[in-house]
């Protein structure tokens, strides 16, 4: 991946919700979930890891920045692209004056990529207001690698919290600015990976409908047992993965939600598959 110099204006704007104003405050009691999917690929094959947001507060997200760390001896990241969440929920900013809202910085020869998105418009209707796929990490498994797990770690961009503060940034930055102050949400991170090697199992998908198994007839994908398959089921699974004690699924919900069906139970991969179904990327579950 060639080095991309991030536009200075975009960097400044991306700090809008994080460090542009002194005395930033945490948005009380609100935590955003950010997670990377787990994929499988063999040497020389391409992969796409989706980074998703869940539990997006009603006040919205005006800015986000984080670092993607990976093992460059196992995989190569070729690009990081906008996800459907960025494209659909906050595609344009009338005040940006040509500055890119979504920026990627990938220094040559390093094992990390920095990602930033921001919107300087004060109208929250231009902010991120819903759950979904924030970005997609595209890459290839290096030739000659026969097995192993390449972790995809989401973390803080290495910088000071504010210029000349002497304090290192220690967390993924997600937040917004209002009335001259910046507010940062708490963030819960679920890392992803690329499993290298031949997949051990395969699965046959079916369109959502009445399916036999588990406790009898059930609706595949209906993790929250609402009677429908929609984005709420993906959110229910991601919440369960992040905090099973607070956001439990019933035994039937776990059966319904295991749409990938590779024997590992309900995982974020199932949530991502449901999101793909809702977005029309796949037509079957």
The domain segmentation of the chain, as residue ranges, is 8-196, 210-279
Q: Using the 8-state DSSP alphabet, how is residue 142 labeled? A: P
Confidence of residue 17 (pLDDT cuts 50, 70, 90): very low
* Residue matched to tokens 């991969």: 269
Helix (H) / strand (E) element for 257: namely helix 251-257
> pLDDT for 144-163, tens place per residue?
998 999 999 999 987 655 55
Using pLDDT thresholds of 50, 70 and 90, give the confidence band for residue 112.
very high
Half-sphere exposure of 41 (CA within 13 A, CB side): 24
Top-ranked range on mean pLDDT: pick from 30-39, 117-126, 275-284 = 30-39
CATH fold of the domain at 210-279: Type 1 dockerin domain (1.10.1330)
Confidence at 142, pLDDT banded by 50, 70, 90 = very high
178 CB neighbour count, 10 Å cutoff: 15
Lowest mean per-residue pLDDT among 29-38, 95-104, 169-178, 254-263: 95-104
CA triple 14-19-24, angle to 5 deg: 130
Give 59-78 pLDDT, tens digit per residue: 899 889 999 999 999 999 99
The CATH number assigned to the domain with range 8-196 reads: 2.60.40.680
Total length of the chain: 285
- Helical (H) or strand (E) element with 35: strand 25-36
The whole-number average pLDDT for the span 99-105 is 76
Backbone torsions φ then ψ of 227, nearest 5 degrees: 95, -5
How is residue 245 written in tokens?
């004690």
Question: Both tokens of residue 246?
Answer: 């607070």
Q: How far apart are CA 220 and CA 40, in angstroms?
A: 23
Q: How far apart are CA 69 and CA 113, in angstroms?
A: 7
Give the confidence band of 132 by pLDDT, cuts at 50, 70, 90. very high
Q: Would you call 76 helix, strand, or coil by DSSP? A: strand
Q: In this structure, are residues 143 and 44 in contact, taking their beta carbons and an 8 Å threshold?
A: yes
* 189-246 pLDDT, tens digit each: 999 999 998 644 444 444 555 454 544 567 888 888 888 888 888 888 888 887 788 8
pLDDT score for 174? 92
The predicted model scores a pTM of 0.61
**Which pLDDT band holds residue 109 (cuts at 50, 70, 90)?**
confident
């Amino acid at each position: 991946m060639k080095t991309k110099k991030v536009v200075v204006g975009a960097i400044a704007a991306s700090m809008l919700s994080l460090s542009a104003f002194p005395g930033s405050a945490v948005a009380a009691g609100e935590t955003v979930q950010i997670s990377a999917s787990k994929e499988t690929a063999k040497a020389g094959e391409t992969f796409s890891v989706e980074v998703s947001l869940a539990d997006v507060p009603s006040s919205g997200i005006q800015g986000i920045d984080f670092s993607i760390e990976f093992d460059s001896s196992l995989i190569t990241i070729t690009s990081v692209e906008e996800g459907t969440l960025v494209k659909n929920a906050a595609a344009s900013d009338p005040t940006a004056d040509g500055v890119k809202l979504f920026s990627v910085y990938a220094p040559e020869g390093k094992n990390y990529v920095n990602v930033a998105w921001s919107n300087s418009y004060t109208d929250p209707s231009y902010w991120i207001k819903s759950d979904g796929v924030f970005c997609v990490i595209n890459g290839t498994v290096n030739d000659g690698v026969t097995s192993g797990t390449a972790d995809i770690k989401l973390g803080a961009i290495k910088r000071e919290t504010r210029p000349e503060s002497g304090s290192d940034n220690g967390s993924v930055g997600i937040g917004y600015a209002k009335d001259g102050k910046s507010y940062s949400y708490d963030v819960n991170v679920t890392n992803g990976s690329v499993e290298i090697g031949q997949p051990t199992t395969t699965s046959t998908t079916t369109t959502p409908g009445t399916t036999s198994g588990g406790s009898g007839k059930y609706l595949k994908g209906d993790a929250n047992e609402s009677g429908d398959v929609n984005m709420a089921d993906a959110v229910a699974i991601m919440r369960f993965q992040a905090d099973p004690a607070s956001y439990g699924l019933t035994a039937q919900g776990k059966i319904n939600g295991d749409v990938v069906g590779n024997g590992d139970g309900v995982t974020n991969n199932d949530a991502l598959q449901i999101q793909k179904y809702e977005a029309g990327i796949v037509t079957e579950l």
